[in-house]
Amino acid sequence: MTIFDGNLNVLPWLQEKTLRALQVAVSLVDLANEPDTTAWYRRNLLSIAEGQIDRLAPVVALLYQAGSAAADREEWGAMLEGGSFALGAWCKKWQIADPHNVARGSLRHLRAVEEQDEKAQEISAREFDGDEVKAIDLKLQIYSQMSRQLLDETLTREAHRLLLWLMGSLWLSEPPDVVRISRRFLPTDISVSRSQAASAYKELYERGLLERLVDEGTENTDRLSLRLVVRGLNDSRHPPDYEDVDFGYEGARIGGKVTCGQSKFIKLPETFSAMLKQWFDDEQQLASLRDALQEKMGDEKIYIERVEVGGMEEGLLLLVSFRYPMDKELKPLEMELAEYSEEWFRERLVHQ
């Protein structure tokens, strides 16, 4: 005898089946709530779960005669965040089935290590198929969405500059949504400091507007490949987590101006050579001279990269490597370097 014979009360059967279907729908919320579920999967799992729960919860409430209030979204809506535990609380409040058995659904997703590795397996981004029409359409959609992001007043000035730079690099890019930037020269390119460039990159990444790609053979190069992301259009199912990137280099900008590099040999009086040669067996002495020159000349004028011993044949020669703003005259800077170097040596001799 089965329910299809027409001789059995079908209500218990319907109650059991619909509640079971509701449990399965809520289990999608449990899966979305796991810490290693990516943003793309979480968003889509919750969307599917909401559509299922929205239809099933009122049916279960009706079949269990829980009353119309139990079918209100205000009552069952907590399941969209709390999953099976919230389903158990709803069942307990409205006296629907056994809340303890219902709430056990949240424990079904405890996985073995092998399952965790399998779930975390990354899917490679789809390669560009060569369809130029689709490529142009993708670029236009990215331009449209990113232009709207620029209207967001909570986006910092530095993030605005970085986003504009990336958009400007997109028109010749291949794949059509990926741009490649220079780690070393990005701060100079967008006229910000090294720390500001790093902060802007993190800001855009954490907003989900960028994904970092790893090209074979480029892990240790200057190039950084970034995908400009429009959610629901070209976002990856397993986007890589944010990682700090070291942008720029010291002295790339001085006083907000682009710099160029230079090295200068400084010949000190021959009387210094014999006494001072021994000082430079210790790298700390050279570092001390470098710091003294930087302090004397100021951060707004010059950046001293390093000081080295350049030769000893005709007296003590120092090689000073430095960066200075491109619009400044070089000769006065070189004269100051020589003057302050001699001054530093004389002060050290006095205190010997």
Q: Which two tokens stand for residue 100?
A: 């303890």
Mean pLDDT, residues 213-237: 78
Bridge-based pairing of strands 210-213 and 223-228 is antiparallel
pLDDT at 123: 46
From the number of C-beta atoms within 10 Å of its C-beta (0-12, 13-18, 19+), residue 79 rates as buried
Q: Is the pLDDT of residue 259 over 90?
A: no
Answer yes or no: are the C-beta atoms of 39 and 47 closer than 8 Å.
Answer: no
Give the Cα separation of 233 and 141 in Å (integer). 9
pLDDT at 118: 56
Task: Kindly report which listed range (87-91, 191-195, 296-300, 316-320) carries the lowest average pLDDT score.
Answer: 316-320
pLDDT at 231: 85
pLDDT at 197: 93
pLDDT at 251: 80
pLDDT at 283: 65
Bond before 176 cis per omega within 30 degrees: no
From the number of C-beta atoms within 10 Å of its C-beta (0-12, 13-18, 19+), residue 200 rates as buried
Q: Is the pLDDT of residue 316 over 90?
A: no
Q: Is the pLDDT of residue 177 over 80?
A: yes
Q: How many CB atoms lie within 10 A of CB 283?
A: 9
Q: Is the pLDDT of residue 201 over 70?
A: yes
Task: With CA atoms as reference, report the closest residue to 325 among 277, 258, 225, 273.
Answer: 258
pLDDT at 112: 47
